[in-house]
Chains A and B, each alone.
Chain A
Amino acid sequence: MNYSIIVEDLWKRYGSENILNGISINVEKGGITALLGPNGSGKTTTIRIIVGLIFPDRGKVEILGHNPFRDKDLFKKVGYVQEIPNLPGFFTARQLLEFSASMKGVSRSEVRRVLELVELKDVENKKIAKFSKGMVQRLAIAEALLGSPEVLILDEPYMGTDPIITMHIRDLIRRISKEYGVSVLMTSHIMEDVKELAQDIYVIYKGRIIFHGTKEDLVKQFLGTRVIIESRNLEALKRAISELNYVSGIEDIDKEKIMVTLKEDKREELLDYLISKGVKVKSFYLDLDLDRAYERAVKGDRENNPL
């Protein structure tokens, strides 16, 4: 597998507290990887080590095969948006981007492109100190996109933004990853992001990775395989399903929908069975209740490893 970011066995201690306990993360080239975890779990510390702001006590970080602590030229290819971006307020949006472009060795025409991309062209001459949170967030993303980076590292990219801006930023991340093959590592609290964007998920809790896999894996591991079936004849559907020994639960959702929990992933078998029984099915899909799966993952770990 080709990875853009490789993090191996990161350890970090502050005073007597272990913040990171052997974190390992791989970000696939061209993919979107999400790092999830409750507040104080170590997400931001991990990100800050990856971008070379914090030194690890132990462990290795590589971005595009380079060490971010030693090879600073690497940052010509890496865009980073910090959690609550703090940009020099005395600059206008244009001045900031021009400063950043000159540091990255990027042509000035890039400034116009990224300003248009985040829809800030109209306020390019306004001082950043007078920007709203959402505007600063978009400007920080524009800055990270200067020079078409190969890697984007986003720490809570929607912090403090309203739903419309959130949607706008989410679309932007999806687009740049898909169209330009940019590898994205992002942290987030919002499950909607994970559902819509991430192909690969890491759940971090108390400085340890407690889960790694796809969103389907997360749901399967912590909630079991849950299928939502829609049918006009729910009674017949329920009757047919109740005979199966690999079904562990049936739950009503509404007049035409039920949720079926399977002991093991036998989705194809279940669908074939329903068809063979003549049960008309309107829709049949895997339930991706990531919120609950994530809650279960963290809660389960909390119960196993109390504070």
Chain B
Amino acid sequence: MRGLSKVIEKIILYEIRRAIARKKVITLIIITFLFEIGTYVLLDYAKSTHTAARFLSSIHEYVWLIGVLLPQSFLIHFIAISISAGSMAEEYEHGTMDFLLTKPITRLSFISGKFIGGYVLLTLMYGLMVIISLFLSFFYFGTQVYLNFLPELFGAVVFSALTFYSIAFLVGEIIRRGNIAFLVASVILVTSVALVDVLILLSTLTRNLSYLSISMYFPTWGAEEFPYSIAINIPGAYFLVEGLSLFGGTPGSPLLSSLSIIAYSVVPIFISIYTFLHRDIPKRVF
């Protein structure tokens, strides 16, 4: 058992190293920096206008939430897709699967290490965003409150990112082409976001709640809603959290949204493992 975990650990480190070596991931890290810095620079600039200054003064102690929750709406899922779509697919494309699978490692350990490795990288990248956001919040807006919610929120965002991380991982394993897998998973994300928005709009216009119920079956619903369902409990942060939420006003509990995340993650993970354990490893795909 110890030997097995050591082997998985080696693949995890391999995966992190491999992902960082890719230009795509480096670009994402730069985007992460720019996103966080840009957000706070803009908020600071907004202080100079009268209306915005009044609004910001009422939430200035909660500004850390903006940097922590804003990536959750889209960026974190996009980063998750970028990392996981190529995780398996690029090994096929580069022909390195042969090299890796002719080592003393089972296919199950290998795919586990690959999955965990990419997920650890995603967590580290989000951690970096949170650190930047905290630093800039203190720097531009002074003392921040209710930071005791941060670990729970951090965990919720990382957990919710699992949905599209798993979907893209599965698409990559099945299609075995990194760029196409990235495209397909991104289309699923965007389509799901768009359809849920349309359903919320229909529900508002027709006052028919069944549209909202349908929206809860989409993968983005749980993935988007879960961290907000926790953040909404922060005293005095209700309006800010509602404003940040992409699906504001959607009913649902942390339990329901976490079940959605689990369902949309576990199924792709199992299918990925099953296909990887039973399919042939082809020669390099050109």
Hey, which bits of chain A sit against chain B, CB under 8 A?
44, 48, 51-55, 72-76, 78, 80, 82-90, 99-100, 102-105, 143
Q: Which of B102-110, B143-151, B232-240, B265-273 contacts A (4 or more CB under 8 A)?
A: B102-110
Interface residue? B30 (CB, 8 A): no
Closest residue of chain A to B110, judged by CB?
A72
Return chain A residues, CB-CB under 8 Å to B152: none
* Chain B 1-26: CB-based contact to A (< 8 A → 1; otherwise 0): 00000010010001001100100000
CB distance from A99 to the nearest CB of B (A): 7
* Cα A74 to Cα B281 with chains together (Å): 19
With A53-B281, A88-B18 in contact, is A99–B10 under 8 Å at CB?
Answer: yes
Closest residue of chain B to A140, judged by CB?
B99
CB distance from A61 to the nearest CB of B (A): 13
Cβ of B94 and Cβ of A86 under 8 Å apart? yes
Return chain B residues, CB-CB under 8 Å to A86: 94-96, 98-99, 284
CB distance from A45 to the nearest CB of B (A): 9
| CB-CB contacts below 8 Å: B91-140 with A | 94-99, 101-106
19 pairs, A vs B, C-beta closer than 8 Å: A52-B102, A54-B280, A72-B105, A73-B104, A75-B103, A75-B104, A75-B105, A76-B104, A78-B102, A82-B99, A82-B102, A85-B99, A87-B96, A87-B99, A88-B99, A89-B94, A99-B14, A103-B10, A104-B104
When A and B form their complex, which 10 residue pairs have the shortest distance between CB atoms, in order from nearest?
Answer: A86-B95, A90-B21, A53-B281, A54-B280, A103-B103, A80-B102, A82-B98, A75-B104, A73-B104, A76-B104
CB distance from A133 to the nearest CB of B (A): 13
* Cα A86 to Cα B101 with chains together (Å): 12
Interface residue? B283 (CB, 8 A): yes
Return chain A residues, CB-CB under 8 Å to B7: 103
Instruction: Supply 16 further A-B pairs (C-beta < 8 A) apart from A55-B278, A87-B99, A88-B14.
Output: A48-B98, A48-B281, A52-B102, A72-B104, A73-B104, A75-B102, A82-B95, A83-B283, A86-B94, A86-B95, A86-B98, A88-B94, A88-B99, A102-B10, A103-B7, A103-B105
Return chain B residues, CB-CB under 8 Å to A55: 278, 280
Judged by DSSP, the binding face of B is helix
Return chain B residues, CB-CB under 8 Å to A74: 104
* Cα A87 to Cα B7 with chains together (Å): 19
Cβ of B18 and Cβ of A90 under 8 Å apart? yes
Return chain B residues, CB-CB under 8 Å to A102: 10
* Cα A80 to Cα B95 with chains together (Å): 14
Cβ of A100 and Cβ of B103 under 8 Å apart? yes
Cβ of A90 and Cβ of B104 under 8 Å apart? no
CB distance from A190 to the nearest CB of B (A): 20
* Cα A86 to Cα B104 with chains together (Å): 18
With A72-B104, A99-B10 in contact, is A54–B98 under 8 Å at CB?
Answer: no
* Cα A88 to Cα B18 with chains together (Å): 8
Return chain A residues, CB-CB under 8 Å to B17: 90
* Cα A140 to Cα B18 with chains together (Å): 19
Return chain B residues, CB-CB under 8 Å to A73: 104
Cβ of A52 and Cβ of B280 under 8 Å apart? no
Return chain A residues, CB-CB under 8 Å to B94: 86, 88-89
Return chain A residues, CB-CB under 8 Å to B14: 88, 99
- Highest count of chain B CB atoms <10 Å: which of A52, A73, A86: A86
